[in-house]
């Protein structure tokens, strides 16, 4: 990330330094200009101008910076470098590649004033043109491709800010990102390198209703609370309830073309886990390294708070860029609460009027600006692409009534509520099925019906009904005990137990169970449903509920998740369930 041009304007002088907030006098600046602060040239952004005092939030550690030092204005907004090389990269909050920084400075993370371009400027990419002289191109059009990674072809686009025109010259072969690949008759030169101001959404033709699921391979998500490609979701949960594991599962298994993972303000060791783990992982659908479709942005809790904001915006801008190429992108942000806390800290240093619990009044607006950049789009070049945004929320003490959770809830359409009690009972993923919801369910049903099974919605509804009934029965059981229930209700509790233990639970750390394709999710449900139907028939035929419950084969339902050959296993299991139950009458 950098300012667009190094057109340095008049210098100012630091007046005061308060953590990440610096004021400067006599700086000729506009809102959101990028400035270089102090002798070390730390990157910051103008957030307030009052008279001749300019307030700056600084994206780097400011200790040791003091009044009297210079502030240089670049006159340009915060931008992100776009081009081949974004994938398989790990950045800090201001798009400085962590591996490059590490070799430049000897250690990652904390060094200041080091600038490095977001993409490699020297590396050559083998560019193949898709236009010839004489063709006419418009903004957003694809002029050629380079193989960015084994998985992803990077489409080189006419920047949305260009006018477009007739192609005059075309260069092919090994070229660096700043070399011109296509020149137009109006003099516009297209390179593989674009810059984009992070706070501005990249333009699109239209936003459409999303109708395809972002398949996650997590049963409770795909089966009960699906998110659409282009959808928004929040995962709120107290510490230790599984936010990070869920986000990692999505980053590994979601069927998006591109993953942008924003680690925002979480503990350093969690991000280190991602940085160490991800490069080792394989994409289950292609067998290629997972990093080949992934861009990581790491702003850990020991990094400056202001950069939490820039890392979120950097992430969503990178996501939009790949969307413009026609890809389905999934962005995970862990955790949006840390970003909100950064807003609170900056706001309080600015002595702004605090809103609820000290958060600034613009918290809701910022969150919705972020999630609004997600969606299923028709791009300006006519292709379709999507950005799905999934944000973790870490409410203090797991209290969902706090402002960040509440404001997020008003915006997102999928809510996966993590639950401390479930986590404590080691029910994972600890997603509370009574509190969670997806507003995409109905619009995604046709896809599941066409691609998995015609009765997908019916099976889901059956499961939801059983789980609802269980929730009601549990209250009674707490008062009078299970044995006081009529036999049919006792049987319902048993069926619900299989739904919870076999279907809703899924072990992220088991090599097979970790990813459950929708076909398997569906078959597992039909197996439990089959048990339900056969068991109720037996009950009607007069078999005592205790005998039904204790049939030997039923616990095999709990082992479907770990089966590779699940189709065969489920078919056999269904037969065995029928056989054993029918022997009882
Ligand atoms: P959070 O990010 O909410 O603090 P984590 O995602 O780190 O919580 O999860 C805490 C622990 O819970 C994990 O270390 C793991 O042991 C367990 N866990 C969470 N989700 C799962 C899952 N799907 N399968 C197995 N274990 C899980």
**pLDDT tens-digit map of 20-53:** 899 999 999 999 999 999 999 998 999 899 999 9
- Ligand 1 geometric centre to CA of 242 (Å): 4
Ligand 1 atom showing the smallest separation from residue 239 Cα: 4
Q: How confident is the model at residue 274 (pLDDT cuts 50, 70, 90)?
A: confident
Q: 130-148, pLDDT tens digit by residue?
A: 999 999 999 999 999 999 9
**Stronger pLDDT, 40 or 283, i.e. the higher one:** 40
Q: 362-390, pLDDT tens digit by residue?
A: 999 999 999 999 999 999 999 999 999 99
In sequence order, the 6+-apart residues with CB closer than 8 A to the CB of 387 are 230, 316, 319, 320, 323, 329, 330, 331, 373, 374, 375, 377
> What pLDDT sits at residue 103?
53
Q: Other CB atoms closer than 10 Å to residue 429's CB: what's the count?
A: 25
> What pLDDT sits at residue 110?
44
The strand pair at 232-236 and 384-393 is best described as parallel
Q: Would you say residue 1 has pLDDT above 70?
A: no
Q: Span 11-26, mean pLDDT?
A: 93
Tokens for 300, please give them: 């850990």
Q: Which residue has its alpha carbon closest to ligand 1 atom 12? A: 242
Q: How confident is the model at residue 527 (pLDDT cuts 50, 70, 90)?
A: very high
> What are the φ and ψ backbone dihedral angles of 387, each rounded to 5 degrees?
-125, 120
- Ligand 1 geometric centre to CA of 243 (Å): 7
**Stronger pLDDT, 513 or 353, i.e. the higher one:** 513
pTM, whole model, 2 decimals?
A: 0.92
Is the bond into 64 cis (omega within 30 degrees of 0)?
A: no
Residue 51, marked binder: no
Q: How confident is the model at residue 107 (pLDDT cuts 50, 70, 90)?
A: very low
Q: What angle do CA 210, 216, 220 make, to 5 degrees?
A: 100
- Ligand 1 geometric centre to CA of 369 (Å): 29
Q: Other CB atoms closer than 10 Å to residue 394's CB: what's the count?
A: 26
CA neighbor of 309 nearest in space, from 276, 279, 347, 278:
347
Residue 243, marked binder: yes
In whole angstroms, give the CA distance from residue 273 to residue 342: 23
Q: How confident is the model at residue 97 (pLDDT cuts 50, 70, 90)?
A: confident
CA neighbor of 570 nearest in space, from 518, 532, 539, 531:
531
Q: Span 271-292, mean pLDDT?
A: 78
> What are the φ and ψ backbone dihedral angles of 394, each rounded to 5 degrees?
-115, 80
In sequence order, the 6+-apart residues with CB closer than 8 A to the CB of 199 are 32, 77, 78, 313
Residue 244, marked binder: yes
Q: What mean pLDDT is reported for the chain?
A: 91
Q: What percent of the chain is predicted at pLDDT more than 70?
A: 94
Q: Which residue has its alpha carbon closest to ligand 1 atom 27? A: 428
In whole angstroms, give the CA distance from residue 557 to residue 569: 10
By the 8 A CB rule, do 114 and 299 touch? no
Residue 237, marked binder: yes
- Ligand 1 geometric centre to CA of 435 (Å): 19
Angle between helices 403-411 and 363-372 (to 10 degrees): 40
Beta strands in 335-404 (DSSP E): 375-378, 384-393
Q: Would you say residue 108 has pLDDT above 60?
A: no
B/e letters for 103-141, b = 16+ CB within 10 Å, e = fewer, are eeeeebbebbebebbbbbeeeebebebebeeeeebeebb
Q: Span 410-428, mean pLDDT?
A: 96
For ligand 1, pick from 236, 237, 245 the residue to mutate: most ligand atoms within 8 Å of CB. Answer: 245
CA neighbor of 306 nearest in space, from 54, 16, 59, 23:
59
Tokens for 138, please give them: 């418009």
CA neighbor of 309 nearest in space, from 333, 342, 263, 334:
342
- Ligand 1 geometric centre to CA of 396 (Å): 17
Q: Other CB atoms closer than 10 Å to residue 323's CB: what's the count?
A: 27
Q: 155-191, pLDDT tens digit by residue?
A: 999 999 999 999 999 999 999 999 999 999 999 999 9
Dihedral (Cα; 317, 320, 322, 327), 10-degree rounding = 150
Q: How confident is the model at residue 293 (pLDDT cuts 50, 70, 90)?
A: very high
Q: Which residues line ligand 1 (CB under 6 A)?
A: 237, 239-245, 428-429, 506-509
> What pLDDT sits at residue 102?
54
In whole angstroms, give the CA distance from residue 257 to residue 255: 7
Residue 240, marked binder: yes
Bridge partner list, 13: 25, 70
Least confident of 201-215, 395-409, 437-451: 395-409
């Amino acid at each position: 990330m950098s300012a667009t041009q190094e057109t340095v304007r008049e210098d100012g002088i630091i007046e005061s330094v308060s953590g990440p907030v610096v004021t400067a006098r006599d700086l000729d600046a506009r809102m959101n200009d990028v400035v270089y602060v102090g002798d070390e040239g730390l990157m910051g952004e103008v957030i307030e101008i009052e008279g001749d005092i300019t307030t700056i939030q600084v994206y780097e550690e400011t200790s040791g910076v003091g009044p009297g030092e210079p502030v240089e204005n670049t006159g340009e907004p915060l931008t992100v470098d776009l081009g081949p090389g974004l994938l398989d990269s790990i950045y800090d909050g201001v798009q400085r590649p962590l591996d490059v920084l590490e070799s430049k400075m000897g250690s990652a993370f904390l060094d200041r004033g080091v600038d490095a371009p977001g993409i490699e400027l020297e590396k050559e990419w083998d560019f193949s043109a898709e236009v010839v002289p004489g063709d006419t191109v418009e903004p957003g059009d694809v002029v050629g491709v380079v193989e960015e990674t084994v998985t992803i072809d990077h489409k080189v686009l006419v920047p949305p800010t260009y006018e477009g025109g007739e192609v005059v010259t075309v260069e092919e072969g090994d070229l660096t990102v700043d070399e011109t690949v296509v020149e137009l008759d109006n003099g516009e030169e297209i390179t593989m390198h674009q810059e984009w101001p992070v706070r501005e959404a990249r333009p699109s033709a239209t936003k459409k209703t999303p109708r395809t699921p972002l398949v996650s391979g997590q049963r409770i998500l795909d089966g009960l609370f699906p998110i659409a490609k282009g959808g928004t979701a929040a995962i709120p949960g107290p510490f230790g309830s599984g936010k990070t594991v869920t986000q990692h599962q999505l980053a590994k298994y979601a069927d998006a073309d591109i993953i942008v993972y924003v680690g925002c303000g979480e503990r350093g060791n969690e991000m280190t886990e991602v940085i160490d783990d991800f490069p080792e992982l394989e994409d289950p659908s292609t067998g290629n390294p997972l990093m080949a479709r992934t861009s990581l942005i790491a702003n850990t809790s020991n990094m400056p708070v202001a950069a939490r904001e820039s890392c979120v915006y950097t992430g969503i801008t990178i996501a939009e860029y790949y969307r413009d190429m026609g890809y389905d992108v999934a962005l995970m942000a862990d955790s949006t609460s840390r970003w909100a806390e950064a807003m609170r800290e900056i706001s309080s240093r600015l002595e702004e009027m605090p809103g609820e619990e000290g958060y600034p009044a613009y918290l809701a607006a910022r969150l919705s600006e972020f999630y609004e950049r997600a969606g299923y789009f028709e791009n300006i070049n006519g292709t379709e692409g999507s950005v799905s945004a999934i944000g973790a929320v870490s409410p203090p003490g797991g209290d969902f009534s706090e402002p960040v959770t509440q404001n997020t809830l008003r915006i997102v359409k999928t809510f996966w509520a993590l639950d401390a009690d479930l986590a404590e009972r080691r029910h994972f993923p600890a997603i509370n099925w009574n509190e969670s919801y997806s507003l995409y369910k109905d619009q995604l049903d046709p896809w599941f019906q066409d691609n998995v099974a015609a009765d997908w919605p019916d099976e889901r509804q059956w499961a939801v009904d059983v789980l609802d009934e269980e929730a009601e029965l549990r209250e009674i059981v707490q008062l009078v005990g299970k044995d006081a229930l009529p036999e049919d209700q006792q049987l319902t509790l048993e069926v619900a137990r299989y739904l919870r233990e076999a279907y809703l639970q899924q072990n992220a750390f088991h090599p097979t169970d970790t990813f459950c394709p929708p076909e398997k999710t569906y078959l597992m449900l039909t197996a439990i449903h089959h048990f339900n139907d056969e068991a109720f028939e037996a009950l009607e035929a007069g078999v005592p509920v205790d005998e039904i419950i204790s049939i030997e084969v039923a616990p095999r339902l709990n082992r479907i998740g770990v089966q590779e050959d699940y189709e065969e296993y489920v078919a056999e299991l269904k037969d065995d369930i029928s056989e054993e139950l029918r022997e009882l009458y």
